[in-house]
Amino acid sequence: MKTRWYKDAVIYQIYPRSFCDGNGDGIGDIKGIISKLDYIKSLGVDAVWLSPVYKSPNDDNGYDISDYRDIMDEFGTLDDWKEMIDGMHDRGIRLIMDLVVNHTSDEHAWFVESRNKDSEYRDYYIWRKGRGKNGKKPPNNWTSNFVGPAWEYDEQSGEWYLHLFSKKQPDLNWENPKVRQEVADICNYWFDLGVDGFRCDVITYISKKDGLPNGRLKFPLIGDENYIVGPNYHKYIHELNERSFSKYDSMTVGESIGITPDNAFEAIDESVGELDTVFSFDHMGVDFKLNVLPAKFNLAKYKKILDRWQQLPKTCQPTIFLENHDQPRCLPRFVGDYGDKRELAGKALATSILFMRSTPYIYQGQEIGMTNCAFKQEDYKDIMSVNALNTIKKILPPLLPYARKVLLKRARDHARTPMQWTAGKNAGFSTAQPWMLVNPNYKEINVEDSERRGDSLLNFYRKALKYRKGNDVVINGDFRLIYPKSKDIFAYVREYDGKRLFVIVNFKNKQVNFKLPKDLNFDKCELALSNYADAPKKLQSMKLREYEAIVYEL
């Protein structure tokens, strides 16, 4: 029976390779996670979303899976995983696994077999004859999300296979009912081992337009209208829900590019029997031009996007996040030059998201205010960063300096530097040389230091999550923006069953005047949470200090 437990949940994302190294080889692993379960419990989160730990050759750091029913050697064993999930459940923490089923690794047994045209697995993937003389041109003009063509020619079978990501990540053919049943069986295998749900990677890519027609080439050069939320997407997800998700008290969240407030009802409403929630990325695009070029953060546009999700029916549960393994760190992105007010700014951002109607996600290190890293070109490890630099170096060398500047702001690598536990060697992440550069600021920004200070960002997160838990106004309340066009202030009212919360956040590193709206009437007011020790106890017109954030009960 579905309890919809995720409506009152906060979820913590772990990127295992960078979280904690338990065996001293420089790579984060499951034993490392086990050693930090008490810390995770102390945060007050309800579940962990664990990025992939399945068998993988690691072309895309685990998102290229070669065996869905076993654990990557670098991370440990299935017995280690069982110990981990038992430890989580003993502490009241649920586990959300990553479900990566738009594609597999090219080293998966299915794909190895599919290279034989006569194999029963040939139709598990999308194989096509090429165009032009001798078929040596790709079947269409689609491009990979990781730069370059979305097709790879296979000499063994004389045809091309589709890969919307790395050439080592061939796309599965979801038109084949056997593939869809394989996916349901994989989900049920993990559910039966105790998993509480799945984060579904690039799930809206699974249905491609019939005939795979050429796309409209745009910048970046991706013909996405032909494979995002394709013609059979809803059919496939509803079928998967019937065969798997609905049989357990599970939670599913889709990395669902193409799902917007305009079409979210048909994708996540409780009545449709598909996914429970999706990640919206439109709020993460307000500081982009042409999808990839950094631009100035626009608070008014950001609020407008979030408000649209908040106005969905209560049977549609929004999510909110500021960081994940695919995004740079949130502080410089959303609050600008915070100077010596890093933790104040972090508390402001936390306050702004934690009291909306949503399932919030916190990414490892966000709770201590980890920052982007000043990478040199040789420091980048992510396939997207490396491919972009190599391609530009090959075809447009004069643009290399600009590409480096863009990556310093937007590379996925920023989220993947090792977790900063202590001021000691390797930030306490590992006794060996870490697989990736540790951010040099670990001596100032780390868990150990944050634990010592009662007013730290870490302890603010704990306080905020404790206040949020079980709060009916947060879980069920209506949402109303205050001053939606303000470029400085993010303020909103939540109301449920005669109770109200008023949240006000200054997004700027300067003092800002706030005028109390005339239509906001209340008899009593109580200060519930603030990031300044001497915040006004009464809600009134005031001069907000730098990054000041306050929550009042009305």
Return the closest-CA partner of residue 437 out of 15, 18, 16. 18
Strand partners, 164: none
Sign of CA dihedral 34, 35, 36, 41: positive
Phi and psi based region of residue 110 (left: phi greater than 0; alpha: psi -120 to 50; beta: remaining): alpha
Both tokens assigned to 42: 């102390």
SS3 12: strand
**Does residue 446 contact residue 428 with C-beta atoms inside 8 Å?**
yes
SS3 344: helix
Return the closest-CA partner of residue 363 out of 314, 405, 419, 406. 419
> Cα separation of 363 and 371, whole Å?
12
φ, ψ of residue 253 in degrees (nearest 5): -135, 130
Element (DSSP H or E) covering residue 499 = strand 499-506
Q: Is 323 a catalytic residue?
A: no
**Does residue 241 contact residue 274 with C-beta atoms inside 8 Å?**
yes
Over the Cα atoms of the chain, what is R_g? 24
Q: What one-character DSSP code corresponds to residue 518? A: T
Amino acid at 144: S
Q: Is 201 a catalytic residue?
A: yes
Amino acid at 196: D
Q: What one-character DSSP code corresponds to residue 143? A: B
Please tell me which residue in 46, 60, 98, 201 is annotated as part of the active site. 201
Strands (E), 184-268: 197-200, 251-255
Q: What one-character DSSP code corresponds to residue 131? A: B
> Cα separation of 409 and 411, whole Å?
6
How far CA 527 is from CA of 8, 413, 521, in Å, comes to 22, 39, 16
Please tell me which residue in 46, 255, 287, 323 is annotated as part of the active site. 255
Pairing of strands 549-553, 499-506: antiparallel
Q: Which residue has the tokens 């061939």?
A: 170
Amino acid at 245: F
- Give the catalytic positions in this structure: 201, 255
